[in-house]
């Protein structure tokens, strides 16, 4: 499944590259991006208390399309990102890979002739997930507990000579509910991300 998710993102990036080569519309830009995340995850086992609570570092890579609204400092930016996170402690570990599709609305203001400062926000849709969970070293069913529902993201960024640098905070509209090894559980997660990209 992980290979399938990576292949889908690579195909999307290749399509973006090809589309940019044929693009004659000045207010549409195509690009690629990659970055790291700092995630805070909590797994609540109900009457058993907190099964896991810790921070971890993950990464993401993907493709970007930015549509600038003519004559206005506003843009719309859909993205497709392959995201991978791995976290754990002695009793519970998990590896979660998924494809996220943020759809951002933002605004920017020029700084000099080569730079722009931006703010943006929008929903984040999940287009596919794959998770592997182990409890006390034994692989267990997680009942899609780590499949992301619709989330949200908000942040700020800087453009400079085609390069983009973004800082974002990501959250969920609702926690995920399911089972880990037959234990009814709730997963709550939030994260900070930083990414570097390039618009062609």
Record the pTM.
0.81
pLDDT score for 61: 96
Query: What is the rounded CA–CA span in Å between residue 102 and residue 87?
Result: 23
pLDDT score recorded for residue 185: 75
Positions of the chain with pLDDT lower than 70, given as ranges: 1-25, 46-49, 51-52, 89-91, 135-148, 178-183
Q: What is residue 14's predicted lDDT score, i.e. its pLDDT? A: 54
What is the separation, in whole angstroms, between the first and last Cα of the chain? 30
Q: What is the pLDDT of residue 186?
A: 77
Q: Is the CATH code 2.40.160 the one for domain 2-199?
A: yes
Query: What is the pLDDT at residue 58?
Result: 94
């Amino acid at each position: 499944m992980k290979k399938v998710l990576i292949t889908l993102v690579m195909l999307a990036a290749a399509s973006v590259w090809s589309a940019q080569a044929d693009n004659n519309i000045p207010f549409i830009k195509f690009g690629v991006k990659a970055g790291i995340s700092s995630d805070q995850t909590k797994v609540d086992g109900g009457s058993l208390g907190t099964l896991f609570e810790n921070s971890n570092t993950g990464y993401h890579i993907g493709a970007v399309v930015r549509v600038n609204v003519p004559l206005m400092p506003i843009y719309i930016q859909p993205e497709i990102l392959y995201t991978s996170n791995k976290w754990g402690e002695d009793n519970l570990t998990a590896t979660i890979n998924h494809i996220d599709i943020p759809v951002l609305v933002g605004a920017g203001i020029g700084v000099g002739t080569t730079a722009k400062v931006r703010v943006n926000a929008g929903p984040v849709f999940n287009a596919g997930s794959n998770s592997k969970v182990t409890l006390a070293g034994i692989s267990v069913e997680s009942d899609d507990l780590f499949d992301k529902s619709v989330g949200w993201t908000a942040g700020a960024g800087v453009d400079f000579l085609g390069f983009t640098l973004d800082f974002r905070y990501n959250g969920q509209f609702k926690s995920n509910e399911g089972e880990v090894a037959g234990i009814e559980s709730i997963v709550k997660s939030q994260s900070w991300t930083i990414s570097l990209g390039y618009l062609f």
